Amino acid sequence: MTQQNLFLGIDCGTQGTKAIVIDATSGKVLGLGAASHTLISGANGRREQDTHQWLDAFTEATHRALQQAGVDGQDILGIGVSGQQHGLVLLDDQGQVLRPAKLWCDTETAPQNDRLLQHLGGEQGSLERLGVAIAPGYTVSKLLWTREQHPDVFARIAHILLPHDYLNYWLTGRACAEYGDASGTGYFNVRTREWDLPLLRHIDPDGRLEAALPQLIEANQAVGSILPAIAERLGINPNAVVSSGGGDNMMGAIGTGNIAPGVITMSLGSSGTVYAFSDQPSVSPQASVATFCSSSGGWLPLICTMNLTNATGVIRELLDLDLASFNAQVAQAPIGADGVSMLPFLNGERVPALPHATGSLHGLTMTNLTRPNLCRAVVEGTTFGLRYGLDLLRQAGLQSQSIRLIGGGSKSPVWRQMVADIMNTEVICTEQSEAAALGAAIQAAWCQSGESLAALCARCVSVDPASLSKPVATSVSAYQHAYERYQQHVASL
């Protein structure tokens, strides 16, 4: 029997935590586990989470994955953690969490973001200085908001961490950060790969924030080994190495083999993301394109839409449809949904850049207001947002020979074909749709073994030939008309 090299990948997302166990020798996924989180929602766009839920879900998902894999946790050689980007976790000097984590989808800090953007000289000033245009979801405005709304909490800050940094801290007792996830904070320069200390001093002249920054480490560096009590709680080898980990998009890139130019990863999750590897920090003049660092030593120009399966989910609940019935309704309606258009901006929107927008339906008549058309209109509307973003990436010079589709929406054949036709590019799913958890496990193997990331991805990432969807010429032109109609509605906002 060949020696197994077992690694655990964790993805702590908005809706829940996923755990995956891989054998890096065979490249096979041996077990999966999951546990859910709830959201704290409040007026004016508050979206927060209790970090205790993450720890409980981390533990439960790990136990389930190990059980399904049928392996002994004592044989796990390394752990990698992927986390939702942009969230803010504040700790005091005892390592205790000071308040619920503010998430990427929280828009309560939009006024603070506007003021910080003004300080940076607008979107162009922000792009020139940081390489990204800060947006309301980024971490930086959450710091200013905390200072203004919770001065008592602010006065006790000893560590400012992103969600995945916090989980690494829980695992190892060490506060550090990795370039990919750090580049979504809004106080990090993606060109020079350094924290922007003057910006933090602008928020807090006393230097508390600067002192609370985690140390930056490279993507293939270990944070450390797991604390004995946590190893026991998880049922894992206490000598397991904890890798640097990263943001969910960076780990999703590794988990889809997107570590060289040419491949585009598109995620159909609660939010939608489109990103591709670049070996240069070529910053797009378009503020909507975030040129983040990758967690594989390069850059990862990315666009993110705020509304995807969360918008389709609302329509499903409204019409009381399960997933299969919803997909059947979508398939019944024609391309363009008989003229029904939905701008699905239920959370405000980042791409197109309309943070204060709300959702709307257009083109309704006595005859076209049907369940199938409503279902198709929300799927088309969310996908048009991704097309808008992909066009921005293409304008910035990114090549797109193929799209690797991940996330919950990728499981729908109707939606896959829609993506192929709207983007006019062939689409294929990776065998493992939990790409961020897989990427985190692959990164742990990279960190622990020193083998090249390319070799590990070649072994551990495989595509599902049955999912291949090629654009159909007649559909491509029909969608183009519907997309132009969508653009006109967006322009009127």
Distance CA 248, CA 106 (A): 17
CA distance between the termini of the chain:
63
Amino acid at 293: C
Q: CB neighbours (10 Å) of residue 453? A: 20
Distance CA 51, CA 332 (A): 42
- Structural contact between residues 231 and 240, judged by C-beta atoms closer than 8 angstroms: yes
Please choose, from the candidates 429, 325, 315, the residue with its C-alpha nearest in 3D space to the C-alpha of residue 379: 315
Exposure class string for 245-254: b at 16+ Cβ within 10 A, else e? bbbbbbbbbb
DSSP 346: B
Catalytic residue among 248, 320, 338, 421: 248
Amino acid at 347: N
H-run or E-run covering 188:
strand 188-189
Map residue 215 onto helix, strand or coil: strand
Find how far residue 197's CA is from the centre of its chain: 25
Q: Which two tokens stand for residue 70?
A: 């049928």
Find how far residue 453's CA is from the centre of its chain: 21
Distance CA 490, CA 493 (A): 5
Please choose, from the candidates 69, 8, 84, 59, the residue with its C-alpha nearest in 3D space to the C-alpha of residue 448: 8
Distance CA 187, CA 319 (A): 43
List CB contacts of 287: < 8 A, sequence separation 6 or more: 123, 124, 126, 127, 133, 353
Clarify whether 75 is annotated catalytic: no
Map residue 93 onto helix, strand or coil: coil
Active site residues: 248
